């Protein structure tokens, strides 16, 4: 019974535009666990017991929150479902600031990617283009990996049905466009009819785990990150770098106007998600302080 309720919940939210790939896996795991306990409805004790199997307090909190959201939905149709309390595993979290790459670091990253093996294969060109595209266009890695050949147009990159099924056109700088065309010429020569831009040695679409492992191996080789589970640059930080550098480059008195354009460019669903970048670097914080001071001084009587 819980399995059907979970699938109904997933189907409904997907119809509203949510992907929920992780939620589907996690909630079905909960449904199986609950069934083993003989439960046909969400039970608070079962949900908490299931959540404790996660390896960290943060992950336990995330698992339980997923069940809470599902339970609220299920209870609207069947009052026998219990809604577990929130904050059972809550622990204070220090927001993790992104690593903002310096231009020299990006250059070293691309140089290292260009030396990947096997020799004579498409692989070094693939990763060099992919890791260069993220900070130059601010794409999510999922968006870059989903690109198809027909999505590379004369007007830019057509990013199809991303978060909340939004589609947008992302312009490319002339240097990025030339690099992309050069890469695609090589890719068409060896990758056959596969429609995706970025492919593996077997001609299949690249997967995120494969790309992330390659990225981590490179940043470790460059000394930007220590061993496994150690802090350091993440793949998504290449996108963060574009956002922060774009804000740093605009005049302080135009940050508010620039913010809306950047939010649209990045494909954010809420402007607040873009304003988050303002506290990432000392320069941006100083710009905000200067703008506030000017506003106060200008309004002084």
End-to-end CA separation in angstroms for the chain: 68
- pLDDT of 95: 63
Active-site residue 183, yes or no? no
Give me the catalytic one of 63, 123, 239, 240.
Answer: 239
Active-site residue 236, yes or no? yes
Give me the catalytic one of 62, 163, 168, 258.
Answer: 163
Highest mean pLDDT among 12-16, 33-37, 58-62: 33-37
Does an H or E element contain 124, and which?
A: helix 123-137
Answer whether residue 244 shows pLDDT above 90. Answer: no
Token pair for 16: 């509203």
Confidence of residue 299 (pLDDT cuts 50, 70, 90): low
Active-site residue 239, yes or no? yes
The predicted-structure confidence for 46-103, as pLDDT tens digits, reads as follows 999 999 999 888 889 989 999 999 999 999 989 999 999 988 887 656 667 788 899 9
Answer whether residue 164 shows pLDDT above 60. Answer: no
Active-site residue 63, yes or no? no
Token pair for 148: 């198809």
Statement: the pTM of the whole predicted model exceeds 0.75: no
Confidence of residue 145 (pLDDT cuts 50, 70, 90): very high
Confidence of residue 286 (pLDDT cuts 50, 70, 90): low
- pLDDT of 301: 40
Q: What is the average pLDDT across 192-209?
A: 90
SS3 152: strand
CA angle 188, 189, 190 (to 5 degrees): 95
Instruction: Report the range of poorest mean pLDDT among 15-24, 69-78, 160-169, 260-269.
Output: 260-269
Where does 103-221 sit in CATH, by number?
1.10.443.10
Give me the catalytic one of 28, 73, 140, 160.
Answer: 140
Active-site residue 277, yes or no? yes
Answer whether residue 284 shows pLDDT above 70. Answer: no
């Amino acid at each position: 019974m819980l399995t059907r309720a979970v699938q109904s919940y997933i189907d409904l939210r997907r119809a509203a535009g949510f992907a929920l790939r992780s939620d589907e896996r996690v909630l079905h795991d909960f449904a199986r666990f609950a069934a083993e306990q003989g439960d046909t409805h969400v039970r608070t004790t079962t949900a908490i017991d299931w959540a404790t199997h996660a390896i960290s307090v943060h992950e336990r909190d995330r698992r339980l929150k997923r069940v809470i959201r599902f339970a609220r939905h299920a209870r609207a149709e069947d009052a026998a479902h219990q809604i577990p309390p929130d904050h059972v595993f809550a622990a204070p979290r220090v927001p993790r600031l992104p690593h903002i790459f310096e231009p020299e670091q990006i250059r070293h990253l691309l140089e290292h990617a260009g030396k990947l093996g096997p020799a004579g294969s498409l692989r070094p060109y693939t990763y060099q283009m992919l890791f260069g595209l993220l900070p130059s266009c601010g794409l999510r890695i999922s968006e870059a990996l989903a690109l198809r050949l027909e999505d590379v147009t004369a007007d830019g990159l057509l990013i199809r049905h991303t978060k909340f099924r939004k589609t947008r056109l992302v312009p490319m700088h002339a240097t990025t466009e030339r690099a992309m065309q050069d890469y695609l010429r090589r890719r068409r020569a060896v990758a056959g009819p596969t429609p995706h831009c970025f492919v593996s040695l077997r001609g299949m679409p690249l997967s995120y785990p494969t790309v992330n492992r390659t990225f981590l191996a490179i940043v470790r080789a460059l000394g930007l990150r220590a061993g496994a589970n150690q802090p350091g640059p993440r793949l998504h930080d290449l996108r963060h770098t574009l956002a922060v550098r774009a804000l740093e480059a605009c005049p302080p008195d135009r940050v508010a106007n620039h913010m809306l354009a950047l939010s649209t460019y990045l494909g954010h669903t809420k402007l607040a998600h873009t304003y988050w970048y303002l506290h990432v670097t000392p320069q941006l914080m100083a710009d905000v302080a200067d703008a506030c001071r000017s506003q106060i001084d200008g309004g002084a009587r």
